[in-house]
Structure 1
Amino acid sequence: MFHFAIVDNSQLDIDKMKNYIEQYCLNYRDVDYHCDVYTNSEDFPFDQYYDAIFLDIKMPHLNGLEFASKIKKKNTPKIIFMTSDDNFMKDVFDYRPFNFIHKNDFEKSAFHTLRLLIDDLLAHTIKISNVQDYIPINHITYIDIIDDIVTVHDYKDLNYIYWKTLKHLAEQLTKYNFFLISQSTLINMNYIKSTNFKTVLLDNGKEFQIAYRKRKAFKIKYEEYKNYGNI
């Protein structure tokens, strides 16, 4: 499931955008999603994770550009600016948005952006099994294997059984800042709270030992990750 938010002080525009998301995700792509809405940017929970935020630029109090700067310090959602004012267009690219929606051509612009967004999100997922749906890779905190059962753990502490090997996942996810710290545990470095290069503590409080033979490679990989940031 993908998690979206719409932040706009216009209830009318919120309703339009919600309708476009529903039409595209459910009617055209059959994609499972959840969408929260906020009419006041100051009410937004900045510690809440979202895959994408549809963000009006011109808002009272905390405007869209200020909001985008603040949210980037907490998480890295895909920012999609929404505006009817051409004067703001030249400013949005300083915030590295995923795309923007022009409200003067709302429907066409929204559907074009949604197509790009869903294609991009689906390209960064793994299919858990024939029963479970796809899970976004950046939702995964760690993956472990116990008694030959591989389990994928997400940031909401939900668990999913995976029917391929941990080695297969490690090969697939290395480019997404995952590291195999032992024969039984693959972690997402995006969720590391602290490490002394012997153990690693994740944001969810889970702590793991790093296998002795993995420590040198992990230190190199993690310092590289810290220097160059998230993918």
Structure 2
Amino acid sequence: MITAIIIDDEIHARSELIQLLRETEQIEILGEAANAIEGFKQLHQHKPDVVFLDIQMPQISGIELLSMLDPETIPRIVFITAYEQYAIQAFENNAFDYLLKPVEEKRLHKTIERLRRDITRKQDVSSIIPKSLEQIPCVGLNRIVIIPVNEIELAYSDISGVHVQTHQRQATTQLTLKHLEEKTPLLRCHRQYLIHPKSIQEIKLLDNGLAEIITQSRHIVPVSRRHLKNLKESLGF
């Protein structure tokens, strides 16, 4: 059976779709979410085969949510929208499928049939995913908070996960350092550290080709020999 999560901020539309999917007896619903922040957590928790994703949602849109997901493990995407122009754009840009609200039972069955045939085929949604992240979802104390990228001084990984540090707080994210490096202005300065160039107050050169960064908030960030040259070039030194 195909596993799925529904992410839609309209409770009635979400409930109606869940009922239609259950009646098909071909979709196992693992979870539902009223916004992209809750949806992000559900996706990491359940790892479904497919996500039925509303495009227009407050704070973080469905398209923005896709940019926060690992492209190697992203599930199949079926967009849901009340606006036909979004559906046409999604279809033309190689999204797997789309459903217009209110969802018609006949149209839904066509989507499920396509899923049954192609569920193991990797879906390419790169053309519609934003090239950069403006916000980072972080977890802690049974909640998810959104931190603007421009507030982040550094990011690092340790045995407990990947963490971002702002002037005022530290938070843990389910995004990888590689994902952050590719999608944000953060620069690699060490195998386990990224630094925001605007947060750098001072770079101290140490013995053996090593260095360390002092941030605006006085955090100390190591710089490895391997990354020092590239870091200096990125900063125009």
Give TM class, smaller chain: 0.3 to 0.5
Larger radius of gyration: 2
TM-score by length of 2: 0.44
